[in-house]
Structure 1
Amino acid sequence: MKTPQDIVSLMLQEDAYSRWLGLHLLEISAGRCLLECRMDSEMLNGFQRVHGGITYALSDSAMAFAANAHGYKCYSIETSISHTARVELGDVLKAQCQEIHRGKTLALYEVKVENQDGRLVAHFKGTVHISGEGW
């Protein structure tokens, strides 16, 4: 059976968007993930703030890695995000994903995204379908 690190490595090989984001995997285990990402100029919106889609993508990737780290392929079926503070050019964000519940076919996750000062900038919730197909 593949380790959580092996699974994330396989996922990243096929995930050009997560690679473009410049995600750094800090911690991974079944149901948990910690990612870090630096905000650069290509991530800015028309107001010269980091686009909300960036924090969403960071959160979604953290959830995907945490969910799949159990060894079975999982696919998101519902997600939501609340942005609680603006994100600026140069900020370094950390996304901490925690599994809330895991059943036979569904699992629930929460991701808290904080900036380099420890300020909460986004709160993400998601549900995944557990396919039963192994890695």
Structure 2
Amino acid sequence: MAKKESGLHQQVVDHMMKEDAFSNWLGIEVIDIKEGYSKIKMPVRPEMVNGLGIAHGGIAFSLADSAFAFACNNRNNLSVALDVTISFIKAVHIDDELFAEAVEIHNGRTTGVYLITVTNQRNEQVALFKGTCFRTGKNLVNK
């Protein structure tokens, strides 16, 4: 269950999760939401493994991308990815529980920059994701 910060930030993320079939398929759970910040988690299931017997890189990427989206949109300013990079640091396995924490580095009028750290249940860093978003100026939810 997410820590509830009353107000708009949580309302925006709740709306996003309700409409986000992919994050729901991944099994993402929102842990914490603050202005320009998010922390989420998900389990790694057998259908997420590649031909090498480890989690497909898209799994850690997708978790980080969802944390990025929740952090950069939670001010109710529709924001889309402009540029992202990821470094895979450690292999991810079935039954791992992954956590992604998105921290705002820059909050500009039209862009934002976020650093997302992905860790496993042993608090070992498995990936580092950096994302730049473009802010459209449109609302996601009615105030």
- Bigger proportion of residues as strand: 1
Q: Which residue of 1 aligns with 2:35?
A: 30
Contact 1:113 1:121 survives alignment (8 Å): yes
In the alignment, the residues of structure 1 paired with residue 35 and residue 128 of structure 2 have an alpha-carbon distance, to the nearest angstrom, of: 21
**Alpha-carbon deviations, 1:24-83, whole Å to 9, x = none?**
100001110000111010100011110000000000000000011111110001000000
Shift of residue 126 of structure 1? 0.5
Q: Which residue of 1 aligns with 2:14?
A: 9
TM-score of the superposed pair, with normalisation by structure 1: 0.96
Letter in 1 for 2:24: R
Greater CA deviation, 23-32 or 5-14?
5-14
Identity %: 37
Contact 1:93 1:115 survives alignment (8 Å): yes
Equivalent residue pairs, number: 134
Partner SS, residue 16 of structure 2: helix
Q: Which residue of 2 aligns with 1:54?
A: 59
Letter in 2 for 1:73: L
Moved over 4 A (4+): none
Letter in 2 for 1:35: I
In the alignment, the residues of structure 1 paired with residue 14 and residue 92 of structure 2 have an alpha-carbon distance, to the nearest angstrom, of: 28
Shift of residue 13 of structure 1? 2.0
Note the residue ranges of structure 1 that are not aligned, 5 or more in a row.
none
Note the residue ranges of structure 2 that are not aligned, 5 or more in a row.
1-6
Matches within 5 A, 1:1-135: 3-135=8-140
